C-alpha cells in the first residue's frame, strides 16, 4: 500500500513538474482536436446556448477550458506552499465564514464551470476544509497522487459511489460538503438534476445551509462566486420547489459562462430557449 502511494505521488509530481512550463502550449495543441470541441459544443446546444451551424469557436474554447483545469490540477503538485488563495478572489468569503462559525458546516453545490479544484484549494488555504464528490479526469495512478496531495491540504476528494455518508460527517465537523451536480449521468429522463436534490436533502438532514458556487476565470486570476446562504425549508413540498429554483439558477449560470463549462458528458436537457448566444 505504501509503495503504491509512493509511486502515485512520484508520478503525480513528475507529471506536474513536466507539464507546468508547457501548459499553455499543450492546451492550444489539444484544443485543435475537432472531436473533443464538437462534443463540448453539443453540450452547450443541449443547454440552450445558440450556436451557429457548422464549426464554432465555442467548442474549442470549452475544450481549452477543460484542459486548463486539468493543467491546474497538475500544477498544484509541484511542491511548495499552495499559492491558490492569492489567485482567487472570493467576494462571499465573509458570509461563508459567518455560517461556518455556527458549527454546522455548509453544503456547497458546484457545477463544472471553471476549476472547482482551485476554488476548494483556495478555501482550504484559508483554513476552510472540505469533503467533495469528484470526477476522475486523470488516469488512476495520477489521480491517487492528486487525492493524496489534496488530503494533505484540507480537501478530501471522494468518488460519487461513496454516497452521502462522508459528506454528512464533514458537515458534523463544521466543514464544507461539496456536490457537483452536473457530473451525474442521467439513467432516465428527469434524473439529470438528482445531484441538486441530493444537495438539498443533505443540507436538510444536517440542519445546515447551502451555497451555490463556481470558480471561473476572471482576467489573469479566478473569481469564486459563493451565492447564499440558502436556507432549507422544513416542508418536503417546499424543498422540491427549492430544488427546481436551484436547477433554473444553475442552468442560467452555465449558459452565461458556456465557454468555461468543462463537462465532457452529453446530456438531454429540456429545451432551454434562447438565453445566450455564443459564436
How is the chain classified by DSSP, letter by letter?
-HHHHHHHHHHHHHHHHHHGGGHHHHHHHHHT-HHHHHHHHHHHHHTTEE--SS--HHHHHHHHHHHHHHHHHHHTTSSS---GGGGEE-TTHHHHHHHHTTTS-EEEEE-SBB-HHHHHHHHHHTT--EEEE----S-HHHHHHHHHHHHHTTEEEE-GGG-SHHHHHHHHTT-EEEEEGGGSPPSSTT-TTHHHHHHHHHHHHHT-EEEEEEEEEETTEEEEEEEEEEPPPSSHHHHHHHHHHHHHHHHHHHHHTGGGB---S---PPP--S-EE--
pLDDT, tens digit, 9 for 90 and up, residues 6-53: 444 444 444 444 444 444 444 444 444 445 556 656 656 665 555 555
In angstroms, the CA 138 to CA 103 distance is 35
| Residue 222, phi then psi, degrees to nearest 5 | -130, 155
pLDDT, tens digit, 9 for 90 and up, residues 19-29: 444 444 444 44
CB of 209 within 8 A of CB of 232? yes
On the question of pLDDT at 79 being above 80, the answer is: no
Distance of CA 196 to the CA centre of its chain: 13
pLDDT, tens digit, 9 for 90 and up, residues 221-237: 889 999 999 999 999 99
Pick the more confident residue, 167 or 134: 167
On the question of pLDDT at 276 being above 60, the answer is: no
Q: Give the per-residue pLDDT at 29.
A: 42
On the question of pLDDT at 214 being above 90, the answer is: yes
On the question of pLDDT at 245 being above 70, the answer is: yes
CB of 182 within 8 A of CB of 201? no
pLDDT, tens digit, 9 for 90 and up, residues 184-198: 554 544 566 788 999
Amino acid at each position: 500500500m505504501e509503495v503504491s502511494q509512493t509511486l502515485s505521488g512520484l508520478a503525480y509530481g513528475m507529471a506536474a513538474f513536466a507539464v507546468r512550463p508547457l501548459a499553455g502550449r499543450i492546451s492550444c495543441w489539444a484544443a485543435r482536436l475537432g472531436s473533443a470541441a464538437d462534443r463540448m459544443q453539443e453540450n452547450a446546444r443541449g443547454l440552450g446556448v445558440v450556436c451557429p451551424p457548422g464549426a464554432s469557436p465555442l467548442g474549442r474554447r470549452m475544450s481549452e477550458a477543460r484542459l486548463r483545469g486539468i493543467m491546474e490540477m497538475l500544477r498544484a503538485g509541484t511542491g511548495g506552499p499552495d499559492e491558490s488563495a492569492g489567485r482567487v478572489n472570493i467576494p462571499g468569503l465573509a458570509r461563508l465564514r459567518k455560517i461556518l462559525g455556527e458549527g454546522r458546516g455548509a453544503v456547497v453545490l458546484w457545477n463544472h464551470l471553471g476549476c472547482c479544484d482551485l476554488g476548494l484549494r483556495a478555501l482550504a488555504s484559508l483554513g476552510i476544509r472540505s469533503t467533495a464528490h469528484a470526477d476522475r479526469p486523470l488516469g488512476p495512478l495520477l489521480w491517487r497522487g492528486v487525492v493524496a496531495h489534496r488530503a494533505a491540504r484540507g480537501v478530501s476528494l471522494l468518488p460519487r459511489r461513496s454516497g452521502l455518508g462522508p459528506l454528512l460527517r464533514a458537515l458534523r465537523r463544521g466543514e464544507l460538503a461539496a456536490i457537483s451536480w452536473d457530473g451525474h449521468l442521467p439513467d432516465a429522463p428527469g434524473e439529470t438534476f438528482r445531484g441538486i436534490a441530493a444537495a438539498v436533502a443533505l443540507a436538510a438532514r444536517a440542519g445546515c445551509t447551502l451555497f451555490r458556487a463556481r470558480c471561473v476565470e476572471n482576467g489573469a486570476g479566478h473569481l469564486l462566486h459563493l451565492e447564499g446562504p440558502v436556507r432549507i425549508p422544513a416542508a418536503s413540498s417546499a424543498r422540491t420547489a427549492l430544488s427546481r429554483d436551484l436547477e433554473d439558477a444553475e442552468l442560467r449560470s452555465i449558459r452565461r459562462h458556456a465557454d468555461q463549462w468543462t463537462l465532457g458528458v452529453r446530456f438531454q436537457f429540456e429545451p432551454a430557449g434562447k438565453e445566450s448566444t455564443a459564436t
